[in-house]
Amino acid sequence: MNLQFTPEENTFREEVRAFLADKLPADIQRKVRFGQQLNAEEHVRWQNLLSERGWLAPGWPVEHGGTGWSPVEKHIFEEECAAAHAPTVVPFGVNMVAPVIIRFGSEEQKRHYLPRILGNDDWWCQGYSEPGAGSDLASLKTRAERDGDHYIVNGQKTWTTLGQHANMMFCLARTDPQAKKQAGISFLLIDMNTRGISVRPIITLDGAHEVNEVFLDNVRVPVANRVGEEGEGWTCAKFLLTHERTGIAGLGHAKQALRHLKSVARRQTHRGRPLIQAPSFREQIARSELELMALEVTNLRVLAAARDGGAPGAESSLLKIRGSELRQRLSDLTRRALGPQALPFFADFLAGDDDTLDDDQTFAAAATAQYLNRRKLSIYGGANEIQKNIVAKTILGM
Ligand SMILES: Cc1cc2nc3c(=O)[nH]c(=O)nc-3n(C[C@H](O)[C@H](O)[C@H](O)COP(=O)(O)OP(=O)(O)OC[C@H]3O[C@@H](n4cnc5c(N)ncnc54)[C@H](O)[C@@H]3O)c2cc1C
């Protein structure tokens, strides 16, 4: 197994770097660098630039507009984007619903939705979780009852990320309440402007409006908007979740967070010398760096296997657990390195509307918000406890 990058892969890295240096808008880069929230226009502006370059949909087959990149090239691309403070692509359209439409959708659905996703014409959100259905997703209660050419959908979805911007939602709904849990579910594409849909914000601990509740009250959805057969939504749902976990280790982000932590620890003082020289803090940074190196090698091993024809399986659960724990620890160490300076955070700052702070103050203001925000990493995309169950079953055979 060869863990070195090939000369072609190194050339590709240079190409990505040059593109980012040339095209990433400075205002967007600054917001990402300081952990501020992007608005919808900023997300779309960046995604349009990727789309123009043909790089928005690395995971798609080439005939539909994909890049044809290998898993290693995708990894290099993600790593360089994180290092350059480029925004993460909003995944719900391009990385989640699109692969499902490509795999299970009708020709008509492919023709209609895929070009719109590549052109950033639709903003998608994910309607899976419900108040009583998260880890145990198959116990979802949202109902879709047939009425001629339509379904009438009633229920509630929750934790709907960026649903406030969405004009489309892919949604799991129960079409057969008599069938066994997983068997009675269908996968529906719902226009968020349909009468009967309301979106209510959930403000998270960091003061951000990132997630929502979505209420569906007698919402009429054309049967033509069902992907796959009636009652086969669970197959689509599982297929989509494997795509959701890809890249969730967030290695590029972890590396960036470590660089930032070191620069903070060099500037902060402790008993008259830089904090980075204090033995106990230095040891914690070193331990995190070693774990990050181990995670990177594991990630490269998984990628190398995929490059040689294997497919990442339960290893992606391992990467998700370790990557999310590490990113949480790095945000915790950064907050502690900043001490009392990390305490304040302001809604104006999060929105990027406060330009009175200098760079040091801005990083300090971001630290607490980021520490709180990173708690989500071990919950979404399948909680870490669930990933451990997967590892136990599929790798350890328990
Ligand atoms: C920031 C954020 C954004 C999200 N965005 C979306 C979105 O856009 N769309 C969407 O549909 N969902 C979204 N989610 C929901 C997410 O997928 C769920 O929160 C997640 O699946 C966990 O479900 P739950 O919150 O209901 O917790 P529960 O399933 O109730 O779990 C509670 C705790 O019990 C543990 N647990 C549960 N079952 C087991 C078990 N069998 N063995 C061991 N431990 C177990 C869990 O690990 C967790 O610690 C988001 C969540 C967050 C936090």
Burial (0-12, 13-18, 19+ Cβ within 10 Å), 13: middle
- Mean pLDDT, the chain, rounded, equals 91
Mean pLDDT, range 328-349, rounded to an integer: 84
Which residue from 219, 200, 221 is spatially nearest to 209, judged by alpha carbons?
200
Domain 247-394: CATH class, spelled out: mainly alpha
Q: Regarding the domain delimited by 7-89, which CATH topology (the fold level of the hierarchy) does it fall under?
A: Butyryl-Coa Dehydrogenase, subunit A; domain 1 (1.10.540)
CA 329 to chain centre: 19
Domain parsing of the chain, residue ranges:
7-89, 123-231, 247-394
User: What residues flank ligand 1, with Cβ below 6 Å?
Assistant: 126, 128-129, 134-135, 159-161, 211, 376, 379-380, 383, 385-386, 389
Q: Quick one: what percent of the chain has pLDDT higher than 70?
A: 92
CA end-to-end span of the chain: 28
Determine the pLDDT at residue 359. Answer: 72
pLDDT value of position 145: 98
Q: What is the pLDDT of residue 308?
A: 63
| pLDDT score at 251 | 87
* Contact predicate 242/225, CB 8 Å: no
Span 152-166, mean pLDDT?
98
What is the pLDDT, as a whole number, of residue 2?
A: 57
State the catalytic residues: 244
- What is the CA(389)–ligand 1 centre distance, in A? 14
pLDDT at 312: 61
Tell the CATH superfamily of the 123-231 domain: Butyryl-CoA Dehydrogenase, subunit A, domain 2 (2.40.110.10)
Per-residue pLDDT tens over the stretch 296-331: 888 888 777 766 655 567 788 888 899 999 999 999
Q: What is the per-residue pLDDT across 211-224, written as a single tens digit (0 to 9) for each?
A: 999 999 999 999 99
The answer to whether the CB of 28 falls within 8 A of the CB of 45 is yes
**Mutation choice for ligand 1 from 192, 379, 386, 387, CB with most ligand atoms inside 8 A:** 379
Q: Is the pLDDT of residue 55 over 70?
A: yes
The CA distance from 187 to 176, in Å, is 13
In this predicted structure, the answer to whether residue 393 has a pLDDT above a threshold of 70 is: yes
Q: What is the pLDDT of residue 354?
A: 67
Whose CA is closest to atom 16 on ligand 1? 380
Q: How far, CA to CA in Å, does 377 sit from each of 91, 248, 356, 390?
A: 15, 9, 31, 17
Q: What is the share, in percent, of the chain residues with pLDDT greater than 90? A: 71
Tokens representing 238 are: 């599982």
Is the pLDDT score of 69 beyond 60?
yes
